[in-house]
Structure 1
């Protein structure tokens, strides 16, 4: 039996596990990423990447690859009984702004998203270990001892400081921890499949019918495939053979000219809405679908999972580097509240789709307004009427460096440390440089120039005010004067 020592053991190499692995790799934390399946997931279960997740992928260095590989959502084309149709946009959004550079979701099949993340992880010198199943673990005072098994019967013991279960809705880790997973069945079952077919143009998301007899065929951007989605009976076996799918497409569309050539992936699933009671037990955490499951409406699942990992990654890295273990308690405090709201939204959107056939998506699905105002990590010395508050997502802003080059705030934040913005201060700073903290002075004598006033507009800055931005791009603290005790206490307690 082999024995491996590492800082973090991650079980589950989907979007959440890969995001966490990349965050740890770029912060030089030792980890091991395993998955019980034999190889990468090959389907398109999650295909929508929301604007906030695009911002995260920019910081991870993969957003341009994602956009190049995918495409915009096509309009919805709803066919009438007489053969005509009506079209409407699939998404509603404002134009990009200096504060919000991404305004619409990207369509990219899940297997392509995860492939790009695996490529990025490989660039950082790491890879998932497929075909290794977590079969048990025990916690002790300074870590976790876990057992992995392979199909050939060989086993490995892993000793890690922390274990993260990103192992899906049927999570072994969650069950082993005896974490309750309360919720409800949505009393609806559906089929999703990736198809090669002819007879439909790729310029629209084609939809027929309402209620139990509806069906949709959506072109999967970045591929030559279409994704089939349709409700199926809640009880009984479902015939998912190629012949059965061809027959149901003909029956529900009323079209004889749509020819099915191949089925590349298929799945039947029952919709439910569930939220784990806890995200942490000792040195073990759960993330992604292991912590929350919900209907796919609104394209929230993969995005919420990625953002779980984004939140947890920098905190694990900080604790491994010497920060207090209590920092890790803020993961559940911040992310469970977000997941609870997301479950409510997904349920509301499912009801709209089921009763009215309405699949339009607006700002509430883009996740730009999610934040952590009630978090223990939020310190706000400004009034309630401030344009942004501690805990909010840090807005972007195009600026200019002192040397004259254009420079976006997001470019500065991508390094992944803490950033203190000093806006037009009246003298030398009093916050001393320290490990993990970048101090950026904004003003005509500073390193960053707010020529267009975009920082002032986005943050509501007045001269002398400061914003402390967390490693994950959320505002940790806002203060009218960097000499104030609240800010300096926050820095002393939150940074290593």
Structure 2
């Protein structure tokens, strides 16, 4: 017996599920969010949001609140034993690339609280203590079974999104393997107040002969999140007392208060598929990897930003072919990310002579040396911030003008009073032109009911690699779809017919939005 209907059933109310739900709700899509937990998390390992995530938050109007909930950090300090071997200055390294040219601490629980609050304001609540236990699908939708307090109910949805973590029930129901492995070492995370030589407000990485520690600054005076490696042979019920001496070794830190402590294992796995019919995998349900670089939560949020507008467009009558682009855009990035973080993490935490040489010799020598160069720091920021991520092989990506290709993230161009990112808050397809716009392009956009935004072609636009007079058709997630250096109606019409929503509408008075 079906007891409810919705457009999209979302399994999991972590950051990925909540962000997907919020984006969909903003686009008028009905969602149902089910999570077997009793309520929001309090103890979390994910602590950083990258610049690309903050750009997505800006699109949804969450940017200012996100910045009010967390804190910046300025540099990375590298200790070997008790000796400071180098520092890498981070603030401002992304200047000119993004409105958020820094690295930012905003913990998973704070992300979830912010997202849930905005969902609540829109009338959407999470069904806590409710688990999606299975589903079937047909040509018209998904029939899912939900369980709460031993009672089952059935929900009919157009699509189901598995945002339910590494042990995803949705993934198991899809019969999709999560391929990869698990590190033999066990790790711990502790939220503590401390004093000592660990530098307040910075990220501090401590390498030792058989250990590593990472100290991350948290909101509040002298409060840090510490990640470390449990000693070999540690019991399954290990407590903080087992690692306290390792944290306080060499006089770097003195713990004055423990707020919470947890142990865990680290996996490096990617789902063989991200989609099966009307079912999709996002976040940890699709990919799990080491905490190196603070990429996990951000990658899940990127999955949600990619999928949300596509689901909404299809639900409004758009071609289902659009959904075929989700997996080829997101899975290659996940595979590359897992491979990269796996190599780095193995070098840092591995045992044996080669790993010890890398940890105590190569890293302390090369990192301070290489990061003296601005170009290296710039590349590091582009990679970690995920602003370098692009989709050049996607069927949605076509053309090139200047240095910008289809599939690139729209380059950020500031102007007095704002930037070219401001129109992205409409969460719609739109056309950007830098310099004068061809009147025939205005008419074409009007017939397609597409917003046209005309920006000055100035020094900032030139530095961003944009070409004067070219048309950049921008996707709702801020990536460029079609790029055309000159007006070509056959190209525009073919792209629009395949990928854009809606039908051609007559509009006798085209009105571009001019931004000075």
TM-score of the pair, normalised by structure 2: 0.85
**Partner Cα separation in structure 2 for residue 427 and residue 410 of structure 1:** 23
Residue 141 (structure 1) shift: 2.1
1:474 aligns with 2:479: yes
Q: For residues 93-492 of structure 1, what are the structure 2 equivalents within 5 Å?
A: 94-97=93-96, 99-150=97-148, 152-198=149-195, 202-221=200-219, 225-233=223-231, 237-250=235-248, 253-255=249-251, 258-264=254-260, 266-354=261-349, 355-356=358-359, 358=363, 362-363=380-381, 364-380=383-399, 382=400, 386-399=402-415, 406-423=417-434, 424-429=436-441, 430-433=443-446, 437-440=450-453, 442=454, 448=455, 450=456, 452-463=458-469, 465-492=470-497
Q: Does the C-alpha gap of structure 1 residues 245 and 421 become closer, same or farther in structure 2, counting only changes over 3 Å?
A: same
Question: In the TM superposition, what whole-angstrom CA distance separates every residue of 1:86-125 from its partner, at most 9, and x where no partner exists?
Answer: 451374762521x522222211111112211112222222
Q: Does the C-alpha gap of structure 1 residues 459 and 420 become closer, same or farther in structure 2, counting only changes over 3 Å?
A: farther
Residue 480 (structure 1) shift: 2.1
Residue 246 (structure 1) shift: 3.5
Task: Give the SS at the match of 1:431.
Answer: helix
Task: Give the SS at the match of 1:13.
Answer: coil
Q: For residues 10-21 of structure 1, what are the structure 2 equivalents within 5 Å?
A: 10-21=10-21
Partner of 1:403: none
> Contact (CA 8 Å) 2:404, 2:466: kept in 1 or not?
yes
> Contact (CA 8 Å) 2:73, 2:91: kept in 1 or not?
no
Q: Does the C-alpha gap of structure 1 residues 456 and 243 become closer, same or farther in structure 2, counting only changes over 3 Å?
A: closer
Residue 375 (structure 1) shift: 0.1
> Contact (CA 8 Å) 1:482, 1:488: kept in 2 or not?
no
**Partner Cα separation in structure 1 for residue 199 and residue 11 of structure 2:** 40
Q: Does the C-alpha gap of structure 1 residues 174 and 473 become closer, same or farther in structure 2, counting only changes over 3 Å?
A: same
Which deviates the most, 185-194 or 220-229?
220-229
Any stretches of 5+ residues in structure 1 without a counterpart? 401-405, 443-447
**Partner Cα separation in structure 2 for residue 21 and residue 127 of structure 1:** 10
Residue 433 (structure 1) shift: 2.2
Answer 1 or 2: which has greater helix percent: 2
Q: Does the C-alpha gap of structure 1 residues 420 and 145 become closer, same or farther in structure 2, counting only changes over 3 Å?
A: same
Q: Does the C-alpha gap of structure 1 residues 439 and 215 become closer, same or farther in structure 2, counting only changes over 3 Å?
A: closer
> Contact (CA 8 Å) 1:71, 1:222: kept in 2 or not?
no
Residue 196 (structure 1) shift: 3.8
Which deviates the most, 237-246 or 414-423?
237-246
Question: In the TM superposition, what whole-angstrom CA distance separates every residue of 1:326-358 from its partner, at most 9, and x where no partner exists?
Answer: 111100010011111211221233145334265
Residue 233 (structure 1) shift: 4.4
**Partner Cα separation in structure 2 for residue 397 and residue 13 of structure 1:** 34
Q: Does the C-alpha gap of structure 1 residues 257 and 235 become closer, same or farther in structure 2, counting only changes over 3 Å?
A: closer
**Partner Cα separation in structure 1 for residue 178 and residue 404 of structure 2:** 34
Q: Does the C-alpha gap of structure 1 residues 222 and 115 become closer, same or farther in structure 2, counting only changes over 3 Å?
A: farther
**Partner Cα separation in structure 1 for residue 70 and residue 215 of structure 2:** 17
Q: Does the C-alpha gap of structure 1 residues 157 and 207 become closer, same or farther in structure 2, counting only changes over 3 Å?
A: same
**Partner Cα separation in structure 1 for residue 26 and residue 222 of structure 2:** 34
**Partner Cα separation in structure 2 for residue 13 and residue 108 of structure 1:** 17
Any stretches of 5+ residues in structure 2 without a counterpart? 350-357, 368-376, 502-516
**Partner Cα separation in structure 2 for residue 257 and residue 427 of structure 1:** 65
Residue 140 (structure 1) shift: 1.9
**Partner Cα separation in structure 2 for residue 399 and residue 249 of structure 1:** 47
Question: In the TM superposition, what whole-angstrom CA distance separates every residue of 1:413-459 from its partner, at most 9, and x where no partner exists?
Answer: 1111011124413434341425662122x2xxxxx4x1634335424
> Contact (CA 8 Å) 1:69, 1:222: kept in 2 or not?
no
**Partner Cα separation in structure 2 for residue 71 and residue 109 of structure 1:** 10
Q: Does the C-alpha gap of structure 1 residues 258 and 58 become closer, same or farther in structure 2, counting only changes over 3 Å?
A: same
Let me know the Cα RMSD of the aligned residues: 2.6
Partner of 1:40: 40
**Partner Cα separation in structure 2 for residue 211 and residue 477 of structure 1:** 52
Q: Does the C-alpha gap of structure 1 residues 77 and 467 become closer, same or farther in structure 2, counting only changes over 3 Å?
A: closer
TM-score of the pair, normalised by structure 1: 0.88
Which deviates the most, 188-197 or 202-211?
202-211
